[in-house]
Structure 1
Amino acid sequence: MDEIRRVQVTGGSTFIISLPKKWVKAVGLKPGNAVLISTLKDGSLIVRPYKEETREDVARAELYATKDESFDKLVREFVSRYLVGYNIIAVYFERGMSTQKEQLKKFVREKLIGVELLEESAQHLLIQCLVKYDELPLNKALERMSAITQFMIEDAIKAFIELDSELAEEVVKRDDEVDRFYLFAVRQLKHVIRDITTLYKIGLKTPRDCLGYRIIVKSIERIADHAARIASIATKLNKKVSPEITEEINKFAKLALNLFKESIDALLELNAEKAHNIIDMTEKAAEYEEKLTSLLMEKEETFIVMVTKLVLESLKRIAEYSSDIAEIVINLSVGQP
């Protein structure tokens, strides 16, 4: 509830205002207690009770894994705690669950950023997130995600065309790295909702940016998934597509990749005009897919048609997700009323 308080002067030079009595009682403040005052870039002040943080004060969550529940459920529960902002997560296992414990340790190492194992016994893990948000702000995480994803697209198409299964498997593994940045970015955005003072630390300007960037990082993560899907398809082929089809696939892939690169450039520049051009160009992706599908039906055998159509579908989805990013750029570029 908003209240109007008049500014008073004491001692000739010190400006003071009184704190609302209801708020003081609600947060348990007493005479002599300290408050933390944070100044935001828009000129606002945030006043909070101040307390020195100890290990006992660090946000801690506990999970209990049982044999009758799937490992996937345990992972989902763990990730939900990570995303919501817990810094310490304790996981307790029933006897005879050493395999699941090792699987969770592997997942944490491969899928989460800045997370380390503090303690381990036969029946428990104690895991802590150590990375501070200003050490890896959102814009840096987003740039890393984008760079990895761009190379994934390029190498996935190369692996498909050249039947390079080793390169294809490498691309699939890189998807884990994109997932790590994605989950960390979501954790940052959720933290801002809880603590508005961290907004500028992660590189955002206004609270409304959070929703837009949440959609953007998800779009990049989905684009990486489609690159990994193309690479996975490449491992199933045992015969190259015809040179004519190869040339057309390269053209389509170049279009999709350029749309993605341009969408990220538009985001970093907050360039609405460039974003509009990307959205207009995306229509060509659907036309290209339709044209190539017809050509495939004429030139290739049934199995190659089936798997190549999946590649074309993924390239179209990469273009469409790039268009989604561009739409968010347009929204972010508009000033607030």
Structure 2
Amino acid sequence: MMIPMNDKNIERRNLQISGGSTYVISLPKKWIERLNLKNGDSMKIVNNPNHSITLFPDTIIQKTSSHHVIKIKKTDSLESIKRKVISLYVSGHDFIIVKSPRSKLETDVRSMIIKLIRTKFVGTEIIESDSVSITIKVLTVNPEMKLELAFNRMYKSTSNMFFELIHAIEKNDLEYAEEIIQMDDEIDRFSHYLTRNLVMSLDDCNILSQLGLEKTSQVIGYKRIITCVERIADHISLIAKIVVNPQNNLKNIPKEIIPEYEKTITLFDNIMNLVSERDYVNAESFAMQIEESLDNISEMIGLTKNNENSVISKNLLYENKRILDYLLDVCEVVMNETVDSVVSHNESEVIPK
């Protein structure tokens, strides 16, 4: 969104040369005071790829924490309350209060919040609780690890989840497949944590730097990739639920399904490595392989005979197809961000006004 030139956040200042080799520019006093800065404080200056300059304090500015209150209504479902808590967490808020204004906080709401904190959030705990409210505090103010490291842990956990599921199907181990369903919570924790940090980095250049990112435009690509990995984990969990369903007879599942899963997990690992390698040529190559696999799966679904196991087989193949769709999305993100590396650049003349 373009900011109008008469906006209060924009001022014009002239560059001045100092010492023959350094340029200086004065900053509005009210801006400095608002940031609680003083004479002699260290500042970071970033030369951005979009021909702009970013100036920000060398140390983290402690912001005043505000308490966001979710007032429960009689019409609010448990899922609606849960969604609000998650939204406040990923939006970067540190204090979240869930409150029942007129009556005692229901036991199912309290249990849901406790489970949510234990299974879906990182560095979060209940600091206050009474009969009508619960106060949640996010203890991790700054990112505890680089974005690439946290993402690698997320995708490796997802890869392991898929690998163990294949093993459970081969061994017809329903008990272990049940455990794999619970692994999805760990992927959600990473997804919410990474999304929270990305959101906060848009407002704080220090956080952007701590995450190992050079420009805010990278946030868009990473968020899309993180969402894809989370959705892939969801579909792996859905496959596990099909496996553990007592009404399904897995012994007669076509043998071709397991090799297709193995191809997909190999593609998954290779494509996730592209997120850090940023290789356009490989991303394009893997995208073509995915399209071939999608065609093969569509053909397998069409050739599946109509019998008591056909619905199970088609569902298992369909879930694999959805995983491949998300992997194709990841390839597209990498290609979009690295296309400049495979095209030529012609300097255009500046046309005088």
Tell me the TM-score normalised to structure 1 length: 0.86
Q: Does 1:109 align with 2:118?
A: yes
Aligned-partner residue type, residue 89 of structure 1: I
Contact 2:13–2:26 (CA under 8 A) maintained in structure 1? no
Q: Which residue is 1:73 aligned to?
A: 80
C-alpha displacement at 1:53, in angstroms? 3.4
Q: Give the one of 285, 295, 318 matched to 1:313.
A: 318
Any gaps of 5 or more consecutive residues in structure 1? none
Q: Give the one of 221, 244, 249 matched to 1:239.
A: 249
Contact 2:122–2:189 (CA under 8 A) maintained in structure 1? yes
Q: 1:110-141: CA deviations, max 9, x gaps?
A: 11111111112222212111224431332122
Contact 2:105–2:131 (CA under 8 A) maintained in structure 1? no
Q: Secondary structure at the match of 1:89?
A: strand
Contact 2:46–2:54 (CA under 8 A) maintained in structure 1? no
Contact 1:296–1:305 (CA under 8 A) maintained in structure 2? yes
Q: Does 1:285 align with 2:290?
A: no
Contact 1:35–1:47 (CA under 8 A) maintained in structure 2? no
| Greater share of helix | 1
Q: Which residue is 1:176 aligned to?
A: 185
Q: Give the one of 43, 46, 55 matched to 2:55.
A: 46
Q: How many residue pairs align between the two structures? A: 326
Q: Which residue is 1:149 aligned to?
A: 158
Aligned-partner residue type, residue 3 of structure 1: R
Q: 1:283-317: CA deviations, max 9, x gaps?
A: 2222221332244317xx32x11012111011111
Q: Give the one of 55, 58, 67 matched to 2:65.
A: 58
Contact 1:199–1:207 (CA under 8 A) maintained in structure 2? yes
Q: Which residue is 2:266 aligned to?
A: 258
The aligned runs of 1:1-337 (5 Å cut-off) are 1=10, 3-7=12-16, 9=18, 17-20=25-28, 24-25=29-30, 38-42=43-47, 44-47=53-56, 53=62, 57-93=64-100, 94-236=103-245, 238-242=248-252, 245-246=254-255, 248-297=256-305, 301-302=307-308, 304-334=309-339
Tell me the TM-score normalised to structure 2 length: 0.82
Cα 1:31–1:72 change in 2 (3 A) is closer
Cα 1:330–1:173 change in 2 (3 A) is same
C-alpha displacement at 1:261, in angstroms? 1.0
C-alpha displacement at 1:99, in angstroms? 2.7
Between the aligned partners of 2:38 and 2:299, the Cα distance in structure 1 is 71
Contact 1:263–1:323 (CA under 8 A) maintained in structure 2? no
